[in-house]
Structure 1
Amino acid sequence: MPRILALDTATEACSVALYLDGEVREHFDILPRQHSQQILPMIEAILAEHGLSMMALDAIAFGRGPGAFTGVRIATGIAQGLAFAADLPVIPVSTLAALAQLGLRQYGAQQVLATIDARMDEIYQALYSADNGIMVLQGAEQVSPPEAVVVETVSNSLVGIGSGWLYRDRIAVPVSQCYPDEYPHAADIALLASVALARGEGVTAEQALPVYLRDNVAKKKHER
């Protein structure tokens, strides 16, 4: 089985994980505005803990967004740099998909509306459904005001995951349970990356690009 290092810095959370022999080990912490200082020591620590070097890995995965602009750039740059140095393929994984996978792993959710607070009175959001233990995107990832979230096919067991649900009173989509305090985890990115790698979806370091969903991230609301 492949050995995959995964990392994520797209939200206030900062995490790294190793996919080894079909199991996932993770270091996770809430570290707002400390990602650039902490992510490399976290990577070094988890590799040392399991007696591995970068050259012993088969791939590097990262949370490619959407999320905080700076955080997504940090994860992208770190993944690209490590992959280039060790000549490894890279697997970009959606942070919304990671949230949905957490919903399945932690809460047994079969359908998840994953959201991340996008600031500027908007949220990133996407619908996922479980298929053989893996959350699969239904439709497309979007960014919109909370009131504009629309889901065409909703089951009675739809679960809301992620910080966008802090606006629950403004989202018209009904959910059976709601967990607004959850963040993407590198552990779920690692698992999703293992499936993607098996499908041959790894890319080169140069091709590992972030996904922001919103092009004008630096503009204020009244400027857009």
Structure 2
Amino acid sequence: MTSSNPLLLALDTAQEDCAAALLRDGKLLAVRCEHVGNRHAECVLGLIDAVLAEAGERKANLSAVAFGAGPGSFTGLRVACGVAQGLAWALQLPVLAVSNLEAVALLAAREKGLAPGDRILVANDARMNECYAALYEVCDPATGRYFTCLAEPALLKPEVVPVAAREGGAKLVAGSAPVQFPEVFEGAAAEGLELFPRTESAPEEIALLGEAMFRRGEAVEPQAAAPFYVRNRVALTMAERAAGEKL
């Protein structure tokens, strides 16, 4: 497959969904998404086989492998990264590490029909009473990019998210935070903020972002691919685990 007509496989295991998508030249050929909890490692290879079979393609036809690099569940991110690396290594393919927050931004922009210059703040639940958040501005398609990232992914307290959106000039807040912390967003409409609640994976958008990165020459060798954690803390205390908290 040539770089002008790439066949791209996208994987996402950043949250409790496990997803795979196959895309060629901006066209979605097949997608699978299942809610699996923490069973990503058990399910992801089967989903890869399923999308390839549906599209009538073989692994040997792939041009690159994209994966949702985070931020998200530490364990989930490592599954997607490891599978993408292993598959790409075996097939001698490049890898594309795609922001899960930017994927949600793209989903919201497409569904809401946002125009260049419009801004979106994406906020996903990061557990431990925090959110992963980033601010994006929609780009002119002629630039070859979907967004400019105006504020890189960071950890915010839920109550800070609406403030950050207003101060950043966002017209839309997208992601799982409005679902997880509804009380924080009760007055959003009155304050001029539209909500786009989203808890599910966005595999098609990960594929589209990966394809754009591929065309811009931003793919990396498999060994160079890595998750984007944001939070440095990677373990819970025994008391926190007993209380049912998760990272």
| TM-score, length-scaled by structure 1 | 0.90
Offset of residue 44 of structure 1: 0.5
d(CA) in 1 for partners of 2:196 and 2:106?
13
Structure 2 residue aligned with 1:148: 160
Structure 2 residue aligned with 1:48: 53
Q: How many residues align?
A: 221
- Are 2:121 and 1:113 equivalent residues in the alignment? yes
Identity score, percent:
38
d(CA) in 2 for partners of 1:132 and 1:32?
37
Offset of residue 23 of structure 1: 0.4
Larger deviation, residues 34-43 vs 102-111: 102-111
Q: Relative to 1, partners in 2 of residues 1:205 and 1:170: Cα closer, same or farther, differing over 3 Å?
A: same
CA deviation map 1:102-135 (0-9, x unaligned): 1012222442211111111111000112113513
Q: Is the 8 A contact 2:94 2:222 kept in 1?
A: yes
Q: Relative to 1, partners in 2 of residues 1:112 and 1:183: Cα closer, same or farther, differing over 3 Å?
A: farther
Show structure 1 runs of 4+ deviating over 6 A: none
Q: Secondary structure at the match of 2:120?
A: strand
Which amino acid counterpart does residue 231 of structure 2 have in structure 1?
R
Structure 2 residue aligned with 1:35: 40
Q: Which structure 1 residue ranges, 5 or more long, are not aligned?
A: none
Larger deviation, residues 18-27 vs 116-125: 18-27
CA deviation map 1:13-61 (0-9, x unaligned): 2211111133023222322222221111000011111222222111000
Which amino acid counterpart does residue 94 of structure 1 have in structure 2?
S
Q: Which structure 2 residue ranges, 5 or more long, are not aligned?
A: 241-247
Q: Secondary structure at the match of 1:129?
A: strand
- Are 2:173 and 1:160 equivalent residues in the alignment? yes
Q: Is the 8 A contact 1:12 1:32 kept in 2?
A: yes
d(CA) in 2 for partners of 1:186 and 1:175?
29
Which amino acid counterpart does residue 120 of structure 2 have in structure 1?
V
Higher Rg of the two aligned structures: 2
- Are 2:228 and 1:214 equivalent residues in the alignment? no
Offset of residue 214 of structure 1: 0.5
Which amino acid counterpart does residue 172 of structure 2 have in structure 1?
V
Offset of residue 164 of structure 1: 1.7
Larger deviation, residues 130-139 vs 86-95: 130-139
Q: Is the 8 A contact 1:160 1:175 kept in 2?
A: no
Q: Is the 8 A contact 1:161 1:182 kept in 2?
A: no
Task: Report the RMSD for the aligned CA atoms in angstroms.
Answer: 2.2
| TM-score, length-scaled by structure 2 | 0.82
